[in-house]
């Protein structure tokens, strides 16, 4: 008789800190996998804690909840084995572990050996490194167990093979960034080329503060051919089957259908990440909805579309707050988008607040020319309105600024930067345009005039962004070269940019770090976002 092993990859959305709820979810999905005929169900890295649990790991009460949850999972295990990720507390420290339960008993425990400590990861702050590989025999198959970073280094897979592993199960909490799925699959192919073993890779899905986990769990055979790829940004329990062939090797086939979820375009992938990030941030916090300022510009137009797609029109309120400088087309386009999206729409002029503030400051400003101060006052008047609505209704305020603006400080502290979450915070202006066109390709919700018109803050007569900044076609590549590629001035200039422009842009980045430190969190979509993986000193004497 041919030996087979059916493995369910439980790509699930867990809530950081909700240990009891996460355990309920593990037990529920394990039961579903058992009904589907699975011999083992594998869950993502640190599933019981949620990822990343950060300093929650240090709370004694958290430890007690983890221990209790593990007991519940152990008791729930039966003929279908459960492989679940969790923090493991010992006298010597904490490990990032994965435990295999079957028949109500703990069978084996693997401790993650390769601890990432770069970009958004700081696992060495919390965890001790464990043994490099763990192999368990189940239903006649020898299975190597790895956790996330273990598969990115050659040692653990090689050691598992040396210990007799015939296949590898990898538990992951790998966050999204552009082109990350292609990178994951490439790394796993490299490991397979080395050890010639099939690999099943289960990944977390869901939003957690600035991080979005995109799922896309997958399995590859020993030739490095992809056999299964789960959907992106959705929960899924995917079934695969390992089969021992006549020569004693282990083949792999997909049981779930469809076996291969489509690879998404850059725009589709980013947009879906933004939608999931907003949805989970709002829902997991229990907000009844969101409110945002709708200016008639492209940033707020895109943010509104994301919010509606994430939450539904009934949970979104848009507010137009015209000033003496607001163009008629801005009023018209904002109203048209609100109508097209079906959201609650309010128009609250700021002229009275603006005039009153200028009157109160008249003596202080006497003899001084009009400058950016008056522009910032308008932005802060709008903040008062939006935060007032937020406080009164409980709706969370979404900010609408993009990465290009955040990088150079083209935003008002305690004004348009104020809010609870910033969906497009990590999207450059050029990406904003691409996403707007993509969203309209699914159904026109952003007026074309909003996309075509020159961007403007509309805080003074005939204002355009280009009055203060280089064109975005120049600004964005310079910013990417510095922020994401860590290039020096000479290296950026070598890419074809004017030295004076490069110097001016980098000086703006340096001078406005204090603003970014006070900005709300937002979805990370790039190799380096302002937030978890950008640590630039506010006070520093570095000279370019």
CA terminus-to-terminus distance, the chain: 70
Residues 8 and 239 sit within 8 Å (Cβ to Cβ): yes
Cβ neighbours around 61 below 10 Å, total: 9
Spatial CB neighbours of 273, under 8 Å, sequence gap ≥ 6: 176, 212, 214, 233, 523, 525
Q: At what angle do helices 154-162 and 180-195 cross, to 10 degrees?
A: 40
DSSP tag of 398? B
User: Catalytic residue positions?
Assistant: 45, 112, 148
CA distance 73 to 97: 14
C-alpha count within 13 angstroms, C-beta hemisphere, residue 54: 7
Query: Helical H runs in 196-289?
Result: 266-285
Closest CA to 12 of 84, 63, 98, 71: 84
Distances from the Cα of 4 to the Cα of 39, 200, 243, angstroms: 9, 15, 5
β-strand pairing of 94-102 with 81-89? antiparallel
Residue 105 φ then ψ, to 5°: -130, 150
Closest CA to 201 of 187, 112, 491, 211: 187
CA distance 199 to 497: 45
Across the strands, what pairs with 10? 237
Residues 442 and 461 sit within 8 Å (Cβ to Cβ): no
Residues 340 and 445 sit within 8 Å (Cβ to Cβ): yes
User: 3-state class of 199 per DSSP?
Assistant: strand
CA distance 157 to 145: 9
Cα angle for residues 318, 276, 213 (degrees, 5° grid): 150
């Amino acid at each position: 008789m041919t030996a087979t092993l059916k493995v369910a990859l439980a790509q699930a959305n867990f809530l950081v800190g909700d240990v009891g709820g996460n355990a309920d979810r593990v037990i529920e999905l394990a039961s579903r996998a058992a009904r589907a005929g699975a011999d083992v169900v594998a869950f993502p890295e640190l599933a019981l804690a949620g990822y990343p649990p950060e300093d929650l790991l240090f709370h004694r009460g958290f430890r007690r909840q983890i221990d209790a949850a593990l007991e519940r999972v152990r008791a729930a295990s039966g003929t279908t084995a459960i492989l679940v990720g969790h923090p493991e507390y010992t006298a010597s420290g904490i490990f990032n572990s994965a435990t295999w339960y079957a028949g109500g008993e703990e069978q084996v425990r693997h401790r993650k050996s390769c601890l990432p400590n770069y970009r958004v990861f700081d696992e060495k702050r919390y965890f001790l490194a464990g043994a490099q590989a763990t192999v368990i025999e189940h239903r006649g198959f020898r299975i190597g167990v790895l956790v996330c970073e273990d598969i990115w280094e050659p040692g653990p897979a090689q050691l598992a093979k040396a210990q007799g592993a015939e296949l590898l199960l990898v538990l992951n909490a790998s966050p999204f960034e552009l082109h990350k799925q292609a990178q994951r699959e490439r790394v796993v192919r490299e490991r397979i080329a080395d050890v010639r073993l099939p690999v099943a890779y289960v990944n977390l899905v869901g939003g957690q503060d600035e991080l979005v986990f995109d799922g896309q769990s997958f399995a590859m055979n020993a030739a490095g051919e992809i056999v299964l790829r789960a959907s992106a940004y959705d929960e899924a329990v995917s079934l695969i089957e390992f089969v021992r062939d006549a020569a004693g090797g282990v083949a792999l086939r997909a049981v779930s259908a469809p076996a291969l979820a489509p690879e998404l375009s850059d725009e589709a992938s980013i947009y879906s990440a933004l939608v999931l990030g907003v949805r989970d941030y709002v829902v997991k916090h229990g907000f009844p909805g969101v409110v945002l300022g709708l200016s008639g510009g492209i940033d707020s137009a895109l943010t509104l579309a994301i919010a509606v797609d994430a939450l539904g029109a009934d949970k979104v309120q848009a507010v137009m707050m015209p000033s003496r400088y607001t163009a008629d087309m801005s009023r018209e386009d904002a109203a048209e988008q609100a109508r097209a999206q079906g959201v609650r729409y309010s128009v609250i002029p700021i002229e009275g607040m603006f005039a009153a503030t200028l009157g109160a400051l008249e003596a202080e400003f006497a003899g001084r020319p009009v400058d950016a101060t008056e522009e910032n006052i308008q932005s802060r008047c709008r903040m008062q309105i939006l935060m007032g609505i937020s406080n009164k209704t409980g709706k969370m305020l979404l900010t609408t600024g993009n990465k290009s603006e955040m990088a150079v400080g083209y935003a008002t502290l305690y004004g348009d930067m104020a809010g609870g979450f910033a969906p497009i915070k990590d999207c450059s202006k050029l990406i904003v345009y691409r996403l707007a066109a993509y969203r309209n390709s699914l159904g026109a919700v952003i007026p074309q005039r909003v996309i075509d018109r020159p961007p403007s803050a509309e805080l003074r007569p005939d204002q355009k962004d280009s009055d203060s900044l280089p064109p975005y076609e120049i600004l964005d590549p310079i910013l990417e070269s510095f922020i994401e590629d860590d290039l020096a001035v000479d290296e950026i200039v070598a890419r074809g940019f004017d030295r004076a422009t490069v110097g001016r842009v980098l000086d703006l980045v340096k001078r406005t770090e204090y603003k970014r430190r006070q900005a709300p969190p937002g979805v990370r979509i790039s190799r380096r976002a302002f937030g978890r993986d950008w640590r630039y000193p506010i006070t520093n004497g570095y000279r370019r």
